[in-house]
Amino acid sequence: MRRFWLVFSQAVTVLLAAYFVVLTMKPEWLQQRPVTSASTGVALSEAPQQPNAPPPPGSFRQAAQKASAAVVSINTLKAGEKPSSNDPWFRFFFGDQGGVPQSGLGSGVIISPDGFILTNNHVVEGATEIEVTLNDSRKTRGKIIGTDPETDLAILKVALDRLPVVTLGNSDALQVGDQVLAIGNPFGVGLTVTSGIVSALGRNQLGINTFENFIQTDAAINPGNSGGALVDVNGNLMGINTAIYSRSGGSMGIGFAIPVSTAKLVLEGIVKDGVVTRGWIGVEPADLSPELMETFGVKARKGVLITGVLQNGPAAQAGIRPGDVVAQVGGKDVANVSELLSTVAALKPGTPTQFKVQRRDDTVEATVTPGRRPKPKPQNGQAVPGLPGR
């Protein structure tokens, strides 16, 4: 009998040891349970349901869920142009006919419990009706609070309660290689999340907007994503998806988003003052090139060349001349026209600012009091070649 109990206890010990080894190394073996299909009678192996199970390693589930709730779909109706309105023969035979209304599709991001929505200007530009659809299927009319064509941003407002709000992140902390998610409604198929990395920062001179400082990403962005969210792996808003480079009309892995730092300035200006106020000094700048340097006798190797100065403008009154090279604005280095434009635009009109200027062999300090930047002239129907996803 003692021998029997000894064998039994040893067997139990081995089985318990094997159980704990399997529980530690292969817990899924213990979770699976056979299930018989009612239609085929075949025994299947199915994992038990775990409604609150943590996401698997590498999953972006939590970031997607956190940000997606605040991303909306925007449908617009725009009045169509009258066909052949300038053709007298057309009017003679067919009379004056109204244009066919055109529908548009885009995305937006809820940024305030008060109902403010951030989107692209080109999504709502010229719209006579705007319908906003939330992720929870609620629909309502959207009202344009203000637009800023120079950054291609617009602010809408909806009158709904219990609105989900996105968390604004710090786009200045982004680095090339960081993982990001693009969220929007491409081609009207519904809310879609794609992933990628930050491919480049500070993209400019693309001819899309006046002020360009784009985040470039390879996360799939397609028509309909415009105005949607670019978020980090924590679900914080990093940018507003705006454009793609494409030869086919679809994503080719080159997408552009406006940094949330720029969007904050636009939002503050529109909500507070109704317009975005920017600084202006009245100069015609150009990037340094061997030809221009020879023409103006410039010896500086860094900065922005001033090729023209508006008479009686802020720069002229401060003594800046054609041929000067602006090296710093308010203590900040400027290396190209885009940086000078953005830096000057961020200045507060009426507040004197120090400019460091290279004039041939001399360094000159000029105190410039910027004025208010004039409103841009509307560019009706201007297309951007190679960027059909704007």
Catalytic residue among 68, 107, 122, 251: 122
Whether 266 contacts 239, CB under 8 Å: no
CA distance 318 to 163: 50
For 126: left if phi > 0, alpha if psi spans -120 to 50, otherwise beta; the answer is left
CA distance 158 to 3: 81
The β-bridge relationship of strands 283-287 and 236-244 is unpaired
In the block, which residue shows the tokens 């008479």? 311
**What residues contact residue 169 under an 8 Å CB cut-off, 6+ apart?**
231, 232, 234, 236, 237, 238, 260
Whether 243 contacts 208, CB under 8 Å: yes
CA distance 213 to 202: 4
For 128: left if phi > 0, alpha if psi spans -120 to 50, otherwise beta; the answer is alpha
Catalytic residue among 68, 73, 171, 226: 226
CA 350 to each of CA 114, 328, 357, 367, 368: distance values in angstroms, whole numbers, following the listed order? 32, 19, 20, 12, 9
Whether 150 contacts 95, CB under 8 Å: no
Helix, strand and coil content of the chain, in percent to the nearest 5, comes to: 25, 35, 45
Please say if 232 is a catalytic residue.
no
Task: Say how many C-beta atoms besides its own lie within 10 A of residue 233's C-beta.
Answer: 14
Please say if 324 is a catalytic residue.
no
Catalytic residue among 107, 148, 152, 246: 152
- Give the long-range contacts of residues 189-195, CB within 8 A, separation 24 or more: 189/224, 190/73, 191/68, 191/71, 191/73, 191/135, 192/225, 193/60, 193/64, 193/68, 194/219, 194/220, 194/221, 195/60, 195/219
For 248: left if phi > 0, alpha if psi spans -120 to 50, otherwise beta; the answer is alpha
Both tokens assigned to 179: 């993982």
Please say if 136 is a catalytic residue.
no
Catalogue the active-site residues: 122, 152, 226
